[in-house]
Amino acid sequence: MNTKEIIKLGDKYLMRNYGRIPLAPVKGDGVQLWDADGKEYLDFVSGIAVNALGHSNLSVVRAIQEQALRLMHCSNLYYIEPQVQLAKMLVENSVMDKAFFCNSGAEANEAAIKLARKYAKGKHGPEKVEIITARDSVHGRTLATITATGQPKYQQGFEPLPGGFTYVPFNDLQALTEAISPKTCAVMLEPIQGEGGVNVAAKEYLDGVKKLCRKFDALLIFDEVQTGLGRTGRLFAYEHYDVKPDIITLAKALGGGFPIGAMLAGGEAADVFQPGDHASTFGGNPLACAAALATLEELIEGEVIEYTNVIGDLLYNELKKLSEKYEYVRELRGKGLLIGMELSIEGKEIVDKCQEKGLLINCVGGHVLRFIPPLIVNSIEVRRAIGILDEVMSEIKI
């Protein structure tokens, strides 16, 4: 089918819960993507930070093929070898002690919410249930995680929402100091708010958050669904801050393109869940864990994370030149290969024109261009992307 045929069929049979771009990708290789009409694109969206190793990474593909021939699913009624190996690898490369596996970031955050409340109730009683999150955060699309999300637009129409959530401005320690109380069981934050506009937490802010959590015996949850697994130039974004969270949630890049999520916990929190407390039929299935193991091995042993810092600096510096060239650029921010360019104008026109010229980027919050290419992007591809973006930005009339 060509693009028009795919779109026509999709409009007829798919629910309209996505504002889809009129593009139908059918093939990917590394940073390149091809649509149903054969047009080639540089993909600087990478499945929204999912395809960290690029499209169709051979190590991940082989791991999936080999595992599919052996065993795809058997359920968590039993011990699953790739799941045990994946848990070991994640724990040994983090400050966490145990892992729970699911299928998505939202599910990982649901698990974290349940774990935090069970921990607090067991230790302090039934009143310690409140969870504080940041404004402009995004934690998922389930009923609990849209409630945790600090953006009303995701919550409208789905009321009544679950109780027990409070929101404070991001990077505002005074606001958190005023909000936290003996009833607070957890503070959930993204070290960098990806969907919220690539807002980077200040080190002194997270230092203060950790001290407040310790004071009130509240768990510190880092939502690393987007920032984790090399995206910021470290395996986990918390490593930039020397702040140890109690819980980390992961997904997106974990499976190299295959759906899998994880919640990692350390200390007392790691031993809270008991049989029957939480579960996932497909969570941690052999196929997903095999893909994740191959991805992690490539990231860690293949030195991809170290490379991310180098290529991330190049991308940032090239974008910095554009930010100094065009007066409608307000700010450039980010870490590694998670970079946001805040504009004083709407970003949709730039995104659309870049797509026409063969570059895929996206815009969050209406006016922040987000750049999240695969971590294996090379310098030639970066400069090609910058050339297209420069050409498009030069055509913008303000």
The whole-model pTM stands at 0.97
Whole-angstrom distance, CA of residue 310 vs CA of residue 151:
34
What CATH number should be reported for the domain holding residue 314?
3.90.1150.10
d(CA 33, CA 358): 9
pLDDT of residue 112: 98
CB of 293 closer than 8 Å to CB of 90:
no
351 and 261 inside one domain: no
Residues 227 and 364 in one domain: no
Burial 245-270 (b: 16+ CB within 10 A, else e): bbbbbbbbbbbbbbbbbbbbbbeebb
Q: Which of 235, 269, 301 is the last residue of a domain?
A: 301
Whether 226 and 109 share a structural domain = yes
* Claim to verify: residue 107 and residue 207 sit in the same structural domain: yes
Q: What is the pLDDT of residues 212-229, one digit of tens each?
A: 999 999 999 999 999 999
Please check whether residues 74 and 93 belong to one and the same domain: yes
Residue-level pLDDT at 171: 98
Low-confidence ranges of the chain (pLDDT < 50): none
pLDDT at 210: 98
Split into its structural domains, the chain has a count of 2
pLDDT at 215: 98
Instruction: Say yes or no: 82 and 168 in one domain.
Output: yes
Domain end (from 272, 301, 330): 301
pLDDT at site 373: 98
Boundary residue ending a domain (274, 301, 328):
301
Containing domain of residue 290, as a range?
A: 58-301
Q: Which pLDDT belongs to residue 398? A: 81
